[in-house]
Amino acid sequence: MIQVFFNALAVGLGIGTLGLGFLLVYRPTGVFHVSAGAIYAAMPFLLLELGTRGAPLWLSLLICVAFGIGISCAIEFFNHRRLGIGLSQTSAHLLSSLGIYIVLTQLVVIVWGPNVRSLRVGQDHSFRLGLLVATRAQILEITIQAVLLLAFAALLKFTNIGLKLRALMQNPSEMALLGYSTQGFRLLAFAISGVFVAVVSLVNAYDLGFDPHGGLPAIILAIAAVIVGGRDSFLGPVAGGLLLGLLRSLAVWFSPKWQDCFTFVLLAACLVFLPNGILGYSRRVKAP
């Protein structure tokens, strides 16, 4: 059972971090940032490419994260900002985001091919601690994602930028009325989302391998974490991610092939019966 919880932590933190990246964009902008799936798919290929061209690992990692930020900001600047702000635009944002995901993913396939690849050479080293067996990739995954989440929590709690990000998430209209540049902070939200997506993508690619079509499933899991956990606070996606991680780890013991099925049945059930998520606030539902 300890092993199940450990595996759940490794998987769940990744889903939760991605969910946080998604929520960071969704709450203030209303944009379903599906195109983040393309960033998720492209980053490991870029790292591998830089590695084969002889770039040192630290530089390759920095370039990958910078690319993640750049693409995410470009998507906001050239697409979502031009589509306008407002509820009536949501379909247009979603449609264009899906379109960008498709275009970027196909470009990845054309440039780097459709095959499954791995960032790791050979079998991973594993450690035994009593009943628990942990691989090096899992320890790396948990450590990096936990540090990233803690750094983000510190940014939110102790810095002026964090305060403004929270304000943007709570009420972007009022923030604009107070004279702050919401467009600048929207861009910042997309940039931080890009960091989260790039880092989780690289860490997961090191553990499980990667392929060009892995982006959308990862983002759908992130959306599931946001919905299951609740979209009213930054803790929601992390809690949702951990719950999904546990469910998926338990599903592996039952039958690995039904992992996705269980996840999406839970997602659909949450959407219908618990639309505000486990950490969400109850609110009055608008009449149709």
Partner 1 sequence: MNFLFHILAVIGIYCILSWGYALVFRLAGMLSLAYGCYFAIGAYVYALGVRHLPFFPLLLIGVASATAFGMVEAVLSWRLKGDFLFVGSLALQAVVYSLALNWVDIGQPPGSWSNLTNGAFGLPGLPRPAIFGITLDTESGYLALVAIVVIIGFCVYRNLVFSPWGRIVEMSRDDELAAATLGKSPRSLRVGVLLVAAGFGALGGMLYAAQTGFVDPDVAVLSQVIAILAMVATADLLGSRSPVVGAAVLIALPEALRFARLSSTYAANVQVLAYGLLLIGVAHVSRTRSARTVRPHEANDR
The dihedral over CA atoms of 55, 66, 94, 26, expressed in degrees to the nearest 10, equals 140
Interface mask (CB under 8 A) for partner 1, residues 194-233, using x and -?
----------------------x---x--xx--x------
Site for partner 1 in 251-280 (CB under 8 A): 257-258, 260-261, 263-265, 267-268, 271-272, 275
Indicate whether 109 belongs to the interface with partner 1 (CB under 8 A).
yes
Q: Find the binder of partner 1 among 13, 41, 64, 100 (CB under 8 A).
A: 100
Tokens of residue 29, six digits? 């902008």
- Which of 13, 3, 2 is CA-nearest to residue 142? 13
Looking at the Cβ atoms of 50 and 222, the one nearer to partner 1 is 222
Looking at the Cβ atoms of 130 and 288, the one nearer to partner 1 is 288
CB 39 within 8 A of CB 111: no
Q: Is the dihedral of CA 65, 71, 77, 83 positive or negative?
A: negative
Looking at the Cβ atoms of 27 and 199, the one nearer to partner 1 is 27
Tokens of residue 184, six digits? 């600048």
Interface mask (CB under 8 A) for partner 1, residues 21-50, using x and -?
---------x-x------------------
Taking the C-alpha atoms of residue 272 and residue 266, their distance in angstroms, rounded to an integer, is: 10
Looking at the Cβ atoms of 51 and 99, the one nearer to partner 1 is 99
- Which of 18, 12, 1 is CA-nearest to residue 198? 18
Taking the C-alpha atoms of residue 199 and residue 36, their distance in angstroms, rounded to an integer, is: 12
Indicate whether 101 belongs to the interface with partner 1 (CB under 8 A).
yes
Looking at the Cβ atoms of 133 and 220, the one nearer to partner 1 is 220
Indicate whether 94 belongs to the interface with partner 1 (CB under 8 A).
yes
The neighbour count for residue 24, using CB atoms within 10 Å, is 25
Give the β-pairing of 132-135 and 126-129: antiparallel
Q: Find the binder of partner 1 among 90, 126, 170, 183 (CB under 8 A).
A: 90
Residue keyed to tokens 């900001």:
73
Q: Which stretch binds partner 1 (CB under 8 A): 81-89, 129-137, 152-160, 167-175?
A: 81-89
Taking the C-alpha atoms of residue 36 and residue 217, their distance in angstroms, rounded to an integer, is: 11
Tell me the site size for partner 1, rule CB under 8 A.
44
Looking at the Cβ atoms of 93 and 137, the one nearer to partner 1 is 93
Taking the C-alpha atoms of residue 37 and residue 53, their distance in angstroms, rounded to an integer, is: 25
User: In angstroms, how far is CA 97 from the centroid of its own chain?
Assistant: 15
Indicate whether 115 belongs to the interface with partner 1 (CB under 8 A).
no
CB of 208 to partner 1, least distance (A): 18
- Write out the residues near partner 1 by the rule CB under 8 A: 30, 32, 79, 82-84, 88-96, 98-103, 106-107, 109-110, 216, 220, 223-224, 227, 257-258, 260-261, 263-265, 267-268, 271-272, 275, 287-288
